Each structure stands twice: as structure tokens, then as C-alpha cells.
Amino acid sequence: MSGSPELHELTAEAAAAEIRARRLSPVELVDAVLARIEQLDAGLSCFATVDPDGARAAARAAEAQVTSSAELGALHGVPCSVKDLIDVRGLPTIRGAVPFTDAVAQADAPAATLLRQAGAVCVGKTTTPEFGWSFITASPVTGRTLNPWCPDRTAGGSSGGAGAALAAGMGPLAVATDGGGSIRLPAAFTGVVGLKPTSGRVPTYPPSDLGTLGHLGPMARSVRDVARLLDVLTGHTQAEPGPMAHACGRPVEHLRVGYSPALNGGPVDPEVRAVVDGWVADLVAAGVPVTRFDLVLDGVEDTWDRLYAQSITRQVDALTPSAREQLSPQLRAFVDSTRGLPRSAGPDAELVRRAVTARADAVLRDYDLVITPTTSTVAFDAGLEHPGTVAGVPVGLTDWARLTQVWNLTGFPAISLPAGTIAGGLPVGVQIAGPPYGDGMLLALAAYAERALGSRLPRRVAG
């Protein structure tokens, strides 16, 4: 494959196989990805930190291991990015915030350790809003992260850098975090795949200030790559396929699948709904029975908002007064707006959260898996903090993202994959959720859909 101009488009699975077969040099692959970053990142702002020297040194070491016939890991020589809320030894963990611009990690988070053990090459840290607080990716440190499909639109947040980098070919894999949709929303907006695993399946360090709302998980351009990366993040770093990769080949025709086009009757853009309706119809035609129903889980909205508000406020209040002054006006205004919440808001919300989880568990006794749109809208203008309206209904900072938030409240796994595009060409995501530790089951359905329905995107993002 030497000299191929399309190395940046390789899946991780294909790249790892080519490297093990000695048909692809890890150095050549990493150089191609770094060249892609140099070409496109200035216009998209996907990376908070790029580490070309470290990545090339790791690639040279990976190549030496291949030629010496050493035992190779699952992702040997494959480039990967890590969201800038996760520690990677020797690289800054800026967290999107000016007060942390000089904070260099002294040790790896567990995820970074597992990536190294699997042989992956970290090319850099992807952008995030301050502390991952927003559903768009913009910060005083890195500016706005833009959508490669349409650079005047947002890439979503808070893992917008990861999603945009994948869509633009700046590496095949990304590790990100999700406290209310931060993996799945950017995946939907940028036309890639993102999985929020079952709560606790992947170790999260530094600990999320969102508590058990916060998850760490994989993003990629294919379901199989997401499964492969999830195996690594849960400790299966060897070359042979792990349990999540094996799950991608399981039969799915027997599954009881439910489809709800909304949550609690909330607004969904008609174009988004039409694309997901079409995806579900095609899935049925491909042999998977799907039952239409209305997903009603009372209490999601206020419960998630209260827990989220208190967690962000705790992070800001832990800073010195001078450090708080360095935060964006938007974040400071949001924190000021939460000051009226009673002290009991958090404990009260946790009680309601248990009830929401019990109701979701009851739904997943009727259905093995539940399909919804990932988002209520497509990517909106990059200068906005939220879409303003959805299907003619006014929406605020967080309430356009309820379809993803519910699965953070419950801790249940959920994946977003491309369902197609609206007339203007912007991607639409479809979300599949399942019961606790049903990650393999939802990966099986997602992988089946990816095979049976083919690519739902009309083109790859060009450079």
C-alpha cells in the first residue's frame, strides 16, 4: 500500500491488518494522518494539542516491533486521538480552559495506558469546551470547532473535536467522553459512529465531575472499529478479536426492537424524523422486525438539568477568583444562572433519577433494543450555543438534546451511527440503546445495519 494517497481513509481494522501483514508501514500511516491534520486542522480546530514528534517516535518503535516479529497488539501502529479531558502522559490536559493551559499530565489515564498496550499511536488531544460543559465545542483556548461537512455549522459537543477529526480523516479512532450526549451528538452531526458504553464498563480518569452521568467511550468511522476500540478500553489489548468485535457478527433477526421517533413527545425536526423513519423501514426490509411505540420517561428533563448544573458549578467554584475570571462569559453566565437552585436540588434529582431508570428498565423488558433519532436536529450554525427552535418549538441550552441525556441518567449503553443526510447534505444520526451491559447486543444490530444498509452518506468529506 506504499504511496497510497488514501491512507487517511483506512479503517483501524484494515490498517492493523495491513501493518501485521507487513504491507503497510506504521510510519507511513502516521505521517499520512499528521499531514492530514496539518492540511485541515487550522480551518476546523479539531486538536487542542498535536504531538508529531511523539507520534513519529511511537510509529518508528511500532515499525521496529513489526520487523522483529514481536507480539503485536490489537491496534499496533494505528493512529488514535484522545479528548482533552483525558490524561496522556507528557501532553497538556487543558480541558478547554485558560487556567489549565500549562497543566501537563504526569501519568496516563487508564484509557491511555490501554491504548499504549494495544500498540496505538496517540497523535494528539482533541478539542472540548471548558470542562466539557457545552453541547457545542468552543473555548477561549481553541476557538470554535467546525463541521467538516459544512464549515459554517457546529460539530456538536462536547467531543466535537473528536467527531470532526474522524470525519475529516485525521485518524481512524478517537477516545472521548459523554455526560449527556457528548460522544453521540458530535457523531450524529459529523456522520461518524460513537458509543456511550454501560456506566462503569470503561474506567474514567480523571474522575468526571458529572459523577455517574459521565462515561468514557470510543468513536470511529465504522461500527466494527468502535467495537474494536471498546475491547481495548475494557482491557482486551491482544491482536485477536475481543468480545465486542465478535458481537458484531451475531445474528439479530430474533431481537425485539422498538422504534420511537421522539422522547416524551418532544420536538424533532421533520427532516431528521423522515431520514430516521426511512432508515428503520430499510432495516425492516433487511429482515429485522421493528415495532413502533412512544418512549415516555417522565422526569428526564428536570433531573438531568439539575445534576448537570450542579456538577458544572462545582467545577467552576473550585477555581480561584482569578482563574474564574479567565473562563468564557458564556460559562460564567451559565453558572450564575444556577445560583438559585436549592441545596436539596441534587439529592432530590437523584431520587427522581432512580424512578427514570426503573421506567427505562421496564421498557427494555418489552424490547431488547430501542431505536430513536440521536438528535432532534442537524448541525446548526457554528456561532450559536443551541438551535433556538426545533420543529417550530423554542428550545434552550440543553433541552434539544433529551434523546441522548436519558441514557446518561440510566447508565444504559447507547450508540449513534449515520442514518443518512437531509436535503442540504448534513448528516443525521440514528441512536440504538439497550439494557445495562447490553453493549454487545446493540453493537450487533448496529453492525448488521451497517452491512445490510450500506453507507448512508453520499460522500466522504474532502480535503
Beta bridge partners of 82: 125, 175
Candidates 25, 45, 158, 260; catalytic one: 158
- Do 286 and 453 form a contact (C-beta atoms < 8 A)? yes
Q: Is 196 an active-site residue? A: no
Strand, helix or coil for residue 138? strand
Other beta carbons within 10 angstroms of residue 280's beta carbon come to: 20
- C-alpha triplet 370, 129, 419: angle, nearest 5°: 30
Distance CA 361, CA 374 (A): 19
What are the DSSP calls for 219-238, one per residue?
EESSHHHHHHHHHHHTT--B
Q: Is 199 an active-site residue? A: no
Candidates 182, 222, 260, 416; catalytic one: 182
Distance CA 41, CA 49 (A): 11
Distance CA 238, CA 246 (A): 14
Q: Which residues contact 353 (CB under 8 A, 6 or more apart)?
A: 299, 303, 307, 409
Name the CA radius of gyration of the chain, rounded.
21
Amino acid in position 428: V
Candidates 25, 81, 83, 125; catalytic one: 83
Distance CA 367, CA 10 (A): 35
Distance CA 374, CA 58 (A): 36
What are the DSSP calls for 258-298, one per residue?
EE-SSBTT----HHHHHHHHHHHHHHHHTT--EEE--B--T
Q: Which of 212, 169, 213 is nearest to 192 (CA)?
A: 169
Q: How many angstroms from the chain centroid is the CA of residue 69?
A: 34
Q: How many helices (H) and strands (E) does the chain have?
A: 15, 17
Helix (H) or strand (E) holding 218: strand 215-220
- Do 194 and 79 form a contact (C-beta atoms < 8 A)? no
Q: Which of 85, 82, 84 is nearest to 114 (CA)?
A: 82
Active site members: 83, 158, 182
